[in-house]
Structure 1
Amino acid sequence: MIEWQPEPKRITQKIPNQHVFLYQGFAELINNEQVIEGKVFVKIDWHPFPNINFKFLYHGEDRTDLDNQDNLQLKLTELVPQRRLKAHISYGQYRGNKKNQLLGHLTEQFIQGTTDNLSSVVFHITNFWGFNISNDFGYEEDEHGNEIEIERESWLSFDGQFIFDHDPWHIVLSTLDNCHDLEELLTFEGGYGVTHICKIKRLDNATFTLEQAYQIIEAFIYYLSFVRGIWIAPLLVSGFDSEGNQLLEEWRNPIIQGDSWQHGYHWFDVDSSTEIIAPFIGFMKKWQEQKWKEVIQNAIQWYIESLKHSNGQNSSIILLQAALEKTAWTFLTVNECVTSDGFNGLKASGQIKLLLKFLNIPLEPLDQYTEIHKKAKELNWKDSIAAITEIRNAIVHPQVKTSNKSQFPSEKVTQEAFQISHTYLFKCLLKLFDYPYSID
């Protein structure tokens, strides 16, 4: 049976960085014994990153003490029931009898409704690529062992939606109607756009808590951020019962600080491929293993930050090789490929090379990288692993490796070293996530 619930509110933006208003109405600003009545606009702002701010407007001569805000609260009087939220004011503009303006942000999340007995949760995400395809159909075996096609749950009328299942969770990622137009503007202007909406429920239809929902939301956002190559921000979680009735609304600053739009690196056909679904189960298996979760988090963090080149190629090379070495340590010791003492007895190049060997990842040929190939002949580097580790050493310890033969390392050399290091980490992560397709 196809289930279409819930039908949540959908955020729509016509242009990048367009405010998303959460509350517009009368409010009270309370600071100890002082109460100021006015009107407030609570909204999602986008710079320098997605966050929830407010603008409070009022008439009169009253001024609140901005040096003493420990007990400052914003009371939203039009809500039923009324709510008081801790707040902080960062800027005040006073005009006497004219309209005064206070700008600030909430210092606690807003939760309206119950956080228990949820059948599904829905949230939006920023800056993901649009797609118009779906994997709504799956396969199962009949009583005779024959594979038959089954229609899995669809959700509303979204043109593009990917279904990610990993026991006990069922996740649907859907492209919003305005995503493609917004993506074109984001490509030229940068900034932030709300591009997709997600639903999470349990495969066995059991209920769950908001805290449990956030555990899977965090994992899923890390996964999508790895796929996208920039940090994706989850926004505005809503909770529903099995009939699609809304039980919960939450406002909070995103648990992961989203990045402004960038083109990013992608390893699949954005418009017509469902390949991004394939590594998800393997990713979740590693995420849920105590010995692997921190390693995967760090590897994805360093992978994404390395792609930004905000401080040049040098920082990116260091981050990528730190991720490779940490991954090598965990994989090789957990799988008893080498003892702790044996691992520590290897140079960094040996550690990475051993990781690639056990993951069946071939070495990148030096002759595909013109500048490094020249430098390898000059300094007797045996392979691309030796090359990138020696270049990293030269960056971190410039006095250890010197050469009077030529400038070392040059910008072109470090650029190629980044490409090789990035390729190795990317392939290692896909292998660890049991990606079933060729990555050569």
Structure 2
Amino acid sequence: MLDKWRALLDCEDVEEPLTPAYEFASVGESVILHDGGEGGSAGRVELTFVGQPNLRWTGFPDSTPATPEATGISFQLQRHGVEASVDGHRVGRDHGVLNYMEFAAPNTQAHHVVAHWVNLPNIFAAGRIATEKATWNGRWRFEVDGWRITVDRRQDHDKVMARAADQSSYVLTHVMEVRRTDDAVFDVEAAKRLLEGLRVCVSFAFGRWIAPILPVGYDADGEVVWEEWTTPLCDPAMSVGFGWLHRSHTDDLVRLLSCALPRLATLGMPDILRYQMINAVLAVQSGFVEQRMSATFSALENLEWSILVLDSRLSHTKYKKMSGAERLREVLTLADIPHDLDATTFPALQAFVANAAIPDGPTAVVEVRNRLTHPKSPHDEVYQFDGLVRETWFLARRYLTLSILYSIGYQGSYVRMTPPFGWASHSVRVPWASNSPVGSA
């Protein structure tokens, strides 16, 4: 098959697609995880995409509650020769939901892991893959922190994602294989840390929750040695997003992963970066703009402490004596992030600054935040400026994103995060790395 495509395309770099552990399905269609048969484990478990994703169980004979009022359930389930006790919740007499399930022997090691992505955008992938009937550019392969990661996009990605966006639904879009660059085995906990690091980084980059799910670990002979079921934290598909990284800039995505994964996926490393990135996603995805402001400043204050005190730039005593605006300005100065306010971009903020005699952007966003959190009167001067809170969120979120990228040493491009928006014409270099190459499509 591959020889045929190589001859037709006059190209040797054509490969077979990865085989997913669970087949790609239609938009909103459940993924069947277990359907009886093995070791007498009757019953069915599926990951459903109706409304929010849920792990649902049906029809296990030993799951009947002791009393009609009982909601907790427990039953036995065997997979790949491993029997596990399943704890979940009962919704009806013979069906309900699960939160988490794992099948693995103690101290299990894997040779490679296959996982699946939900609602991952159509990231640029130059690698050519082919089936018997079709070929397309859909493979993205990179190495980071001793891992070789291969991601294959399904052939009908654009079609299913358009339908999923129309329905605010979910769909498996990519299959991923991870293995060590030296082809050595690794423990399951290392795989879990890697998958969580990928989830946080990719969600941070694209401004919404995107998840690798349903990992299956294999030994060198291709036998299943580990499997994990979870209800993923994932946002519905959208026709537009609000990320800082363009989906075609996979070189920049690799730069991000190279900077962040060694901290996020290494045993014993602090969770400071994870906290900052999670709040950066919440700063885009939370409901009201005031909620987004709260998430933004929670991460900014954590970041200021990390950069100024934990990195030994300031003493604890000096830090405590500084105002919130002074701390933010200090971080922005270190990262060469401008402090000024463009009246065209931020008309409400500019009017607020002029009215309150505020000198610059850091002081303005901190003052608006303080007046929201600790108003001086029941009718404080915030909402009288139409669009002020929204503009403050735009600017504070920009400060947060660029400060996180500065803190991890990222050198690449980012998409403009303040009005006017636009993917194609507003991709610029980070200010502290003017000599670094900009990632290209």
Q: TM-score category by the smaller chain?
A: 0.7 to 0.9
1:65 aligns with 2:43: no
- Measured against aligned partners, the alpha-carbon deviations of 1:282-338 in whole angstroms (never above 9, x if no partner) come to 11244368997422111112111121241x211211221221121011111233221
1:16-415 to structure 2, matched below 5 A, reads 17-25=28-36, 40-46=43-49, 49-56=52-59, 65-68=67-70, 72-75=74-77, 81=81, 83=83, 85-92=85-92, 102-106=94-98, 109-111=101-103, 116-134=108-126, 159-243=137-221, 245-254=222-231, 257-262=233-238, 263-271=240-248, 273-287=250-264, 293-310=270-287, 312-367=288-343, 368-399=345-376, 408=383, 410-415=385-390
Q: Give the superposition deviation at 1:166.
A: 2.4
- Residue 33 of structure 1 corresponds to which residue in structure 2? none
Once structures 1 and 2 are overlaid, which stretch shifts more, 282-291 or 344-353? 282-291
The alignment yields a C-alpha RMSD, in angstroms, of 3.4
TM-score (norm 1): 0.79
> Normalized against structure 2, the TM-score is what?
0.79
Q: Secondary structure at the match of 2:59?
A: strand
**Is the Cα contact below 8 Å between 1:163 and 1:171 reproduced in 2?**
yes
- Residue in structure 2 matched with residue 141 of structure 1 by the alignment: none
- 272-281 vs 413-422, greater mean Cα deviation: 272-281
Counterparts in 2 of 1:396 and 1:72: CA distance versus 1, 3 Å: same
Is the 8 Å Cα contact of residues 204 and 277 (structure 2) preserved in structure 1? yes
Does the aligned pair in 1 maintain the 2:84–2:103 contact within 8 Å?
no
Q: How far apart in 1 are the matches of 2:115 and 2:91?
A: 30
Whole-Å separation in 2 of the counterparts to 1:408 and 1:130: 39
Q: In the TM superposition, what whole-angstrom CA distance separates every residue of 1:225-272 from its partner, at most 9, and x where no partner exists?
A: 1112112233211112335x1323514214x52222243213344246
Name the aligned partner's letter for residue 415 of structure 1. R
Alignment match, 2:25: 13
* Secondary structure, aligned partner of 1:88: strand
1:191/1:415 CA distance change after superposition, 3 Å: same
- Per-residue deviation, 1:63: 7.5
Deviation at 1:384, TM superposition (A): 0.9
Whole-Å Cα distance in 2 between the matches of residues 204 and 155 of structure 1? 26
Give the letter for the 2:194 counterpart: I
Deviation at 1:40, TM superposition (A): 2.3
Q: Once the 2 structures are TM-superposed, how far is the Cα of residue 118 of structure 1 from its aligned partner?
A: 1.4
SS state of the match for residue 91, structure 1? strand
Unmatched runs of 5 consecutive residues or more in structure 2 = 1-11, 413-428, 432-441
Cα 1:216–1:110 shift into 2, 3 Å: closer
Are 1:425 and 2:400 counterparts? yes
- Structure 2 CA distance, aligned partners of 1:400 and 1:341? 31
Which residue number corresponds to residue 424 of structure 2?
A: none
- Quote the offset at 1:11 in angstroms: 2.7
Gaps of 5+ in 1: 29-36, 94-101, 137-153
Contact 1:119-1:240 at 8 Å conserved across structures: yes
The whole-number CA distance in structure 2 between the counterparts of 1:333 and 1:342 is 9
Give the Cα separation in 1 of the matches to 2:340 and 2:392.
11
2-side partners of 1:377 and 1:291: how far apart? Answer: 48
Deviation for aligned residue 1:43: 0.4
**Superimposed CA distance per residue, residues 372-412 of structure 1 (whole angstroms, 9 cap, x where no aligned partner):** 10111111010111111010011001126976xx6645450
- How far residue 184 of structure 1 moved from its aligned partner, in angstroms, is 0.6
1:68-88 CA deviation, whole Å, 9 max, x = no partner? 576731456xx6748453243
One-letter code aligned to 2:90: S
Query: What is the rounded CA distance, in whole Å, between the counterparts of 2:244 and 2:53 in structure 1?
Result: 27
The answer as to whether partners of 1:66 and 1:89 remain within 8 angstroms in 2 is no
Describe the shift of the 1:239–1:353 C-alpha distance in structure 2 as closer, same or farther (beyond 3 A).
same
The percent identity for this pair of structures is 16
- 1:433, distance to aligned residue in structure 2 (A): 3.0
Could you say which residue in structure 2 is the equivalent of 1:145? none
Given residue 350 of structure 1, which amino acid in structure 2 is its aligned partner?
Answer: E
SS in 2 for 1:109: strand
2:149 partner amino acid: I
Q: Distance in 1 between matches of 2:123 and 2:81?
A: 40
Task: Kindly name which structure, 1 or 2, has the bigger radius of gyration based on alpha carbons.
Answer: 1
Contact 1:359–1:428 (CA under 8 A) maintained in structure 2: yes
